[in-house]
Amino acid sequence: MQKLNLSQVLSQKLSPQQIQFIKLLQVPTAELDARIEEELEINPALEEGRDEEKTQEEDFSDNYEENIEAPESDLNIDDYLNDDYGGYKMQGDGNYSPDDEDREIPISGGVSLHEQLLSQLGYLKLDESQKLIGRQLIGSIESDGYIRRDLEAIINDLAFSQNIEIDLDEVEEVLRKIQNFDPAGIAARNLQECLLIQLERKEHPEDPVVQNAMRIINDSFEEFTKKHYTKIQKRLGIEDDELKDAIQMITRLNPKPGGISDGLVKTQYIIPDFILTHANGKMEISLNSKNAPELRVSRSYSDMFEAYDKSDKRDKKLKETVTFVKQKLDAAKWFIDAIKQRQQTLLRTMQAILDFQTEFFIEGDETKLKPMILKDIADRIEMDISTVSRVANSKAIQTEFGVYPLKYFFSEGIATDSGEDVSNKEVKSVLQSMVDNENKRKPLSDDKLVKLLNDKGYNIARRTVAKYREQLQIPVARLRKEL
């Protein structure tokens, strides 16, 4: 038996203008031009340039809470604000918001690693079968320069895709040829082979230092990776100076001959969203000019709408035209208003960060950074944490001390003996300094680092030191040991 029940549900809906604003807020400066161009192309009622004849009805300049009349939206707020900020509070490096997106950054022209290798393959005198093997091997090279696929699997691939029958010796013969390509160490199957390839290509392979380095990699590779130098020296029967010279040579080799993210040669450019200047003893923030484009509603479209609106509404085609023109005008107004909301929100957020971290922006000293989380800024500007997150995730500021992503200024606090909280960045800076100045023959263990930090007044646990050390990409003490 079916029953009909009534239930009352309270839900929040987003207007099209709010959706427009949310999407534009998280767009970085590098992409804003493209987003505006896209809108200009699809909406003829939107134009570039200052509106010289702006009327009071068309003025959207300051009140970004003004409601623009819009059709009822069926979009639920959860579709656009579904971020789980419980695990994202900008407390330390490595914490990213769930709505982080992979975005292209303007890059200079580049050639892929595979293209470079295929070009070198073309210079070899190979028969058709060898060329196919070579292309298959190069296609199996990963972005760091290694071939990790089993050669038998590559043989099977060639049998199925190219219908050629080959044996392991033929594949290894072509592989050895590719391993002579630049960059040195390319197409190795593991780190040991990668280092040996580079040593074999040294200008003077008969040099005793090269010979000792090769012996270490060939005969004592495991001990080398664990820095068990005493065992190496005993096994190879070499003097302290000979061991030191050989180890230095090995550590100068390239462990990632591909060395390129995604196999592409990229030069990235960071375009700052904010510019910080010091004038007459005051700090002033301005938006990058690319963040403040001049847009206006097309006067011709406005005139067209007024003319049509005064016409006979009984004409069906005319009525459709009026509806179309009104939609385009509304969309243009919404977009202009969303851009202005974006500018105001960016400036309010950045100003709050500047006020919170004034000491850092005056001196550029990392130790002057205060502990700061998203909520601190959200409370100051009286906006939602998700709004601050969207601003901080993809924006950067240019200062006298360099360009910094806004995420840089957010960090957790560490208690001190004096009862104050200091930024974890200050603790990391002290930790880095300790490691830099340690005796490399007897590196500091995490326990010793904890004791030294505690002696300086920082109340910090061993697991926290280990976490910060990993974030700073500092190896464990055993792997920092030097001769």
Residue 5 within any structural domain of the chain: no
Residues listed for the chain:
483
Average pLDDT, stretch 59-66? Answer: 37
Q: Over the stretch 313-347, which tens digit does the pLDDT of each residue have?
A: 566 777 777 788 888 888 888 888 888 888 888 99
Pair (95, 112) in one structural domain: no
Mean of all residue pLDDT scores within the chain: 77
For residue 420, the enclosing domain spans 413-480
Is the pLDDT assigned to residue 442 strictly greater than 90? no
Pair (191, 298) in one structural domain: no
Pair (116, 246) in one structural domain: yes
Final residue belonging to a domain, choices 228, 251, 267: 267
Reference 25, options 391, 393, 353, 389; nearest CA is 391
Is the pLDDT assigned to residue 179 strictly greater than 80? yes
Pair (244, 367) in one structural domain: no
Pair (89, 143) in one structural domain: no
Is the pLDDT assigned to residue 81 strictly greater than 90? no
Residue 4 within any structural domain of the chain: no
Whole-number pLDDT of residue 2:
59
Final residue belonging to a domain, choices 267, 302, 329: 267
Q: Over the stretch 267-282, which tens digit does the pLDDT of each residue have?
A: 445 678 899 998 887 8
Residue 334 within any structural domain of the chain: yes
Average pLDDT, stretch 287-316? Answer: 74
Q: What percent of the chain has pLDDT over 70?
A: 77
Whole-number pLDDT of residue 20:
66
Q: What percent of the chain has pLDDT over 90?
A: 18
Q: Over the stretch 392-431, which tens digit does the pLDDT of each residue have?
A: 877 889 888 888 888 888 877 777 766 666 777 788 888 8
Pair (450, 422) in one structural domain: yes
Final residue belonging to a domain, choices 411, 436, 462: 411
Is the pLDDT assigned to residue 472 strictly greater than 60? yes
Whole-number pLDDT of residue 311:
65
Is the pLDDT assigned to residue 212 strictly greater than 70? yes
Q: Over the stretch 12-45, which tens digit does the pLDDT of each residue have?
A: 566 666 666 777 787 777 778 888 888 888 888 8
Find residue 275's DSSP bridge partners: 286, 398
C-alpha–C-alpha distance, residues 193 and 197, integer Å:
6
Pair (233, 114) in one structural domain: yes
Whole-number pLDDT of residue 52:
57
The larger pLDDT score, comparing residue 33 to residue 453, is at 453
Residue 304 within any structural domain of the chain: yes
Sign of CA dihedral 448, 452, 454, 460: negative
Average pLDDT, stretch 56-80? Answer: 36
Pair (252, 121) in one structural domain: yes
Pair (370, 316) in one structural domain: yes
Is the pLDDT assigned to residue 192 strictly greater than 90? yes
Residue 2 within any structural domain of the chain: no
Number of domains present in the structure of the chain: 3
Residue 8 within any structural domain of the chain: no
Residue 3 within any structural domain of the chain: no
- Nearby residues of 401 by Cβ (< 8 Å), 6 or more positions away: 364
